[in-house]
Amino acid sequence: MLQILGKSTSINVRKVLWLCQELELPYELHQWGTGDRSTQTPEFSALNPNAMVPVIKDGSFVLWESNAICRYLAACHSKAGLLPANLQERAVVEQWMDWQATELNNSWRYAFMSLVRRSAAHTDADAVAAGVGNWNRHMAMLDEQLQSTGAFVTGPRFTLADIVLGLATNRWFMTAMERPALPAVADYYERLSQRPAFLAHGRNGVP
């Protein structure tokens, strides 16, 4: 059975848990990164030298990086549309997944660490304000994309891009800050909320 290593509150672990529910894929979740099961150990570093979650073990195969894990599982356990077979359609899905990981994530990191995590290392008011503005600017880009598709991130069908960006959207709505009205993003959030797996692992009260 697939083993998932990581704390269930982690946004990146929740990507994998949401996907597994969409795929109806059984798994065992092993909580790492909480309590006594630190990722800062030789045992965990042997699986992922970055000492970060999630990590999966599929038999003897070990994989880390949440988006790579999602691509792998979707390819292994095919479900129509999640990771399209058409190379151009697939490239667009992966484009938006990579945008989430490299652009959107970097836009919210400082503001989120200050406003939600209350990190002592993220208390510069100007940096927080700049972070909020940059985060909102990136979400406005997502809003424009959703206006053009009218449904999900890459078109009328739900894909892996919606898993990674759906969790990011939940984080944006749950962070106490000023944000612009983005109607397409708001509609998208409600559309995702019709999916039981999103309610279980995305819109579940955890930012």
Classify 105 as helix, strand or coil: helix
d(CA 24, CA 77): 9
Residues 97 and 197: their CA atoms lie apart, in Å, by 19
Please tell me the predicted confidence (pLDDT) of residue 81: 78
Q: Which tokens belong to 98?
A: 């990579």
Q: What is the pLDDT of residue 38?
A: 83
Strands of 61-164, DSSP E: 61-64
- Kindly list the structural domains of the chain, giving each domain's residue range(s) and its CATH number in brackets, ordered by start: 2-76 (3.40.30.10), 87-199 (1.20.1050.10)
Q: CA 207 to CA 194: how far, in whole Å? A: 18
Give me the pLDDT at residue 36, please: 62
- pTM, two decimals, is 0.95
Q: Are strands 27-30 and 55-58 parallel, antiparallel or unpaired?
A: unpaired
Query: Which runs of E-coded beta strand occur in the chain?
Result: 2-5, 27-30, 55-58, 61-64
pLDDT by position in tens, the chain (length 207): 999 999 999 999 999 999 999 999 999 999 987 766 888 888 989 999 999 999 999 999 999 999 999 999 999 987 767 999 999 999 999 999 999 999 999 999 999 999 999 999 999 999 999 999 999 999 999 999 999 999 999 999 999 999 999 999 999 999 999 999 999 999 999 999 999 999 999 999 999
